Amino acid sequence: MTYIYAYTKDNKAYVGKTINLKQRKVDHKRRFDGWDYQVIDSIDSFNKSQWKPLESCWITAYEEGGYEMVNKNRGGGGQEKASEETKAKLSAAAKGKPKSEEHKANMCKPKSEEHVAKVIAAKRGKPNPKIAVALKGRVISEEWKAKISTTKRGKPNPKVAAALKGRVISEETKAKMSASITKWWAEQKLRKGI
């Protein structure tokens, strides 16, 4: 579900979209503190080609209602393609500013293996919040589940293997694990009507 929401104050308005209303309100707390907030529409799709026109339509509706929009673009998130006028301004602002030879050399230089390794190490184990939000509530099709299962089948999980290395499981624990798995499978069969 993609939600279209609006913040209004006096004659100003901001229209946006989100798939996580709670998180988006937190993100906007400082910027729109004291503004009125409301969810104005929703669409059962994550597809940009379907929600972007809806967001743009609401931006137009608020403009026609006399509101001054504080949106940076016409809907769809992020900076839209810069106009020729903006490109010219940016070019003029950058011209004449000296750049050192070292700066010029580093701009397009391929990164060393050491640098790449440091970046990977810094990111390893940290979940990407954008991906987590995008996948929250997503329904995985049976076909997709089967593909995931097929690719992982027969491959041990290295984290689990390292944690269990050298561990001796008692017969009592094995029996409890077996009973638990048997019960879980029985519940799954009942739920799916097998």
pLDDT at 128 over 80: no
Report which of residues 9 and 157 the model is more confident about. 9
Cα angle vertex 65, ends 63, 69, to 5°?
Answer: 30
User: Is 83 within 8 Å of 71 (Cβ atoms)?
Assistant: no
**Residues recorded for the chain:** 194
How sure is the predictor about 78, in pLDDT bands with cuts at 50, 70 and 90? low
The predicted pLDDT at position 194 comes to 66
Compute CA 47 distance to the chain's CA centroid, rounded to the nearest angstrom. Answer: 13
CA distance 8 to 16: 12
Which amino acid does the sequence have at 93?
A: A
The predicted pLDDT at position 77 comes to 62
Report which of residues 35 and 194 the model is more confident about. 35
The predicted pLDDT at position 16 comes to 87
User: Is 85 within 8 Å of 92 (Cβ atoms)?
Assistant: no
Instruction: Give the pLDDT mean for 120-130.
Output: 78
The predicted pLDDT at position 81 comes to 62
The predicted pLDDT at position 72 comes to 79
Nearest to 53 by CA among 74, 26, 31, 69: 74
Q: Which helix (H) or strand (E) holds 43?
A: strand 36-43
| Residues 60/63/69/73 CA torsion (nearest 10 deg) | 30
Tokens of 10: 């006096």
What φ, ψ does residue 148 adopt, rounded to 5°? -60, -45
Averaged confidence pLDDT in the chain: 81
The predicted pLDDT at position 88 comes to 84
Instruction: Identify the DSSP state of 96.
Output: T
Report which of residues 189 and 142 the model is more confident about. 142
